[in-house]
């Protein structure tokens, strides 16, 4: 779809299944199962969307899914379905891996940056996108390099160290204008330096939310915070300010993980802590 002078295209690395309790944290199951019924193992389906942003001068990819480095055991643990397909999705859009100029990681959890790197024919870990500069927040990189007991399972060195060795990382210090049309804003809570990607062109605005709101319900109801969020009260305040901005500016919001809703516009309700999303068809799966 077009947004001013920019082309936006949703691509995907595929689907996986995750425990419903993780996605909804303290929200009782009796409430969240009204949003979506889990399967018999209490799991919910997740999409792994990435956003391809084609500006007049650059091709920018936001997040890279799980990638194909996981072992059979690890694939089973996160219930990955089928083959990883980010690269074939990009190829269908006419974009080979070497055509990507920039990769922006919202954060470095394994399901957002696993596709950053791959094994080459000699079994060596290399950047998946050979020409790309990878834009990562400084504090996120620090937290990923020095994980704690809680974050160790998802901050996997193989997803970012090979990029550093190849000299392909641009370390961002907070909010940064990446190009004329694209900027990142730090949106802490899920991690300390999680960032959303904002596209602005000809008076129109879009934002890729990453795990600020994995599903639309997380921004529709500010109090619904996943168990994964490192700083839940910070998440709520960040969501409050992003939601107000999105309503006021009529921002087209993109969602990384909901199985059906890829994008939509947010509207206010009579309750200050609740919003309503109207989904928009953006030609995505």
Q: Which residue is nearest to Zn ion (CB)?
A: 109
Q: Which is nearer to Zn ion, 74 or 91 (CB)?
A: 74
- Cα distance between residue 239 and residue 253, in whole Å: 13
How many degrees, rounded to 5, is the angle at CA 168 between CA 115 and CA 51? 45
Q: From the CB of 115, what's the least distance to Zn ion, in Å?
A: 14
Q: Which is nearer to Zn ion, 54 or 211 (CB)?
A: 211
Q: From the CB of 121, what's the least distance to Zn ion, in Å?
A: 31
- For tokens 């596709």, the residue is 115
Count CB atoms within 10 A of the CB of residue 264: 22
Using CB under 5 A, list all residues that contact Zn ion: 109, 211
- Of 173, 214, 207, 194, the closest CA to residue 106 belongs to 194
Q: Which is nearer to Zn ion, 55 or 106 (CB)?
A: 106
Q: From the CB of 191, what's the least distance to Zn ion, in Å?
A: 7
Q: From the CB of 190, what's the least distance to Zn ion, in Å?
A: 6
Please spell the DSSP secondary structure of 102-169, one letter per residue. Answer: EEE-S--SHHHHGGGEEE-TTS-EEESSTTPEEEEEHHHHHHHHS--TTTTTT--GGGTHHHHHTT-E
Q: From the CB of 259, what's the least distance to Zn ion, in Å?
A: 17
Compute the CA torsion angle 243, 197, 256, 258 (nearest 10 deg).
Answer: 20
- Cα distance between residue 242 and residue 52, in whole Å: 22
Q: From the CB of 209, what's the least distance to Zn ion, in Å?
A: 11
Q: Which is nearer to Zn ion, 193 or 243 (CB)?
A: 193
Residues listed for the chain: 285
Alpha-helical runs (H) found in the chain: 20-24, 29-32, 72-77, 86-92, 110-113, 138-145, 161-165, 217-220, 232-249
Q: Which is nearer to Zn ion, 48 or 55 (CB)?
A: 48
Q: Which is nearer to Zn ion, 211 or 220 (CB)?
A: 211
DSSP-derived 3-state class of residue 67: coil
Q: Which is nearer to Zn ion, 68 or 211 (CB)?
A: 211
Q: Which is nearer to Zn ion, 38 or 110 (CB)?
A: 110
Strand partners, 169: 134
Q: From the CB of 186, what's the least distance to Zn ion, in Å?
A: 15
Q: From the CB of 150, what's the least distance to Zn ion, in Å?
A: 12
226 Cβ neighbours under 8 A, 6+ residues apart:
22, 23, 24, 25, 190, 211, 214, 218
């Amino acid at each position: 779809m077009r947004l001013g002078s920019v082309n936006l295209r949703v691509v995907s690395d595929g689907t996986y299944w995750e425990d419903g309790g993780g996605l909804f944290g303290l929200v009782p199951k009796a409430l969240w199962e009204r949003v979506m019924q889990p399967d018999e193992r209490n799991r919910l389906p997740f999409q792994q969307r990435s956003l391809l942003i084609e500006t007049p001068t650059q091709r920018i990819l936001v997040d890279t899914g799980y990638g194909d480095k996981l072992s059979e055991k690890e694939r089973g643990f996160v219930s990955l379905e089928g083959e990883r397909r980010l690269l074939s999705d990009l190829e269908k859009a006419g974009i080979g891996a070497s055509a990507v100029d920039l990769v922006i990681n919202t954060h470095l959890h394994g399901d957002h940056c696993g596709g950053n790197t791959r094994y080459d024919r000699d079994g060596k870990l290399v950047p998946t996108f050979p020409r790309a500069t990878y834009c990562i927040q400084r504090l996120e990189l620090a937290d990923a390099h020095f994980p704690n007991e809680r974050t160790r399972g998802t901050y996997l060195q193989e997803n970012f160290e090979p990029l550093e060795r190849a000299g392909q990382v641009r370390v961002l210090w907070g909010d940064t204008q990446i190009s004329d049309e694209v900027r990142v804003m730090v949106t802490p809570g899920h991690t300390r330096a999680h960032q959303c990607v904002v596209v602005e062109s000809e008076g129109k605005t879009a934002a890729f939310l990453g795990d600020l709101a994995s599903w639309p319900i997380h921004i529709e109801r500010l109090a619904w915070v996943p168990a994964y969020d490192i700083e839940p009260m910070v998440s709520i305040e960040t969501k409050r300010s992003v939601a107000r901005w999105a309503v006021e500016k009529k921002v087209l919001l993109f969602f990384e993980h909901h199985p059906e809703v890829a994008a939509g516009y947010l509207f206010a309700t009579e309750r200050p802590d609740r919003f309503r999303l109207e989904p928009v068809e953006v030609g995505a799966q």
